[in-house]
Amino acid sequence: ARFDQLEMEALRNTCETLRNKLGSGIVILASAFEDKVNFVAMATKDAVERKIHCGNIIREAAKAAGGGGGGRPDMAQAGGKDVEKINEALSCALEAVKSQLK
């Protein structure tokens, strides 16, 4: 999902809140903030056990927005430069999730 005007800490907190309410799954958030893009991904424990790796997912999203980043299987964050590519980046993240679940 996209939550514009959230700096990284607020985006991370929002992602964590949503993951905790989710029960099972992955939350991937993006925000345009001060002409930059922030990305955060978090997965529940059972998703990680199914071989989900947030670091790899967020890396693909960030690449699409002209940035980079990474992290652990259960949590990752990244930045990008091209705000216009946020929706494309989120689509790339979704494709990365699908490829990991195969």
- Summarize pLDDT for 7-62 with one digit per residue, the tens: 999 999 999 999 999 989 999 999 999 999 999 999 999 999 999 999 999 999 99
- Residue 75 has what pLDDT? 98
Give the SS3 label for residue 71.
Answer: strand
CA gap 6, 88 in Å, rounded = 19
Residue 33, H or E segment: strand 26-33
Residue recorded with tokens 């930045």: 79
Choose among 31, 101, 16: nearest CA to 61.
Answer: 31
pTM as predicted: 0.95
Burial of 56 (0-12, 13-18, 19+ CB in 10 A): middle
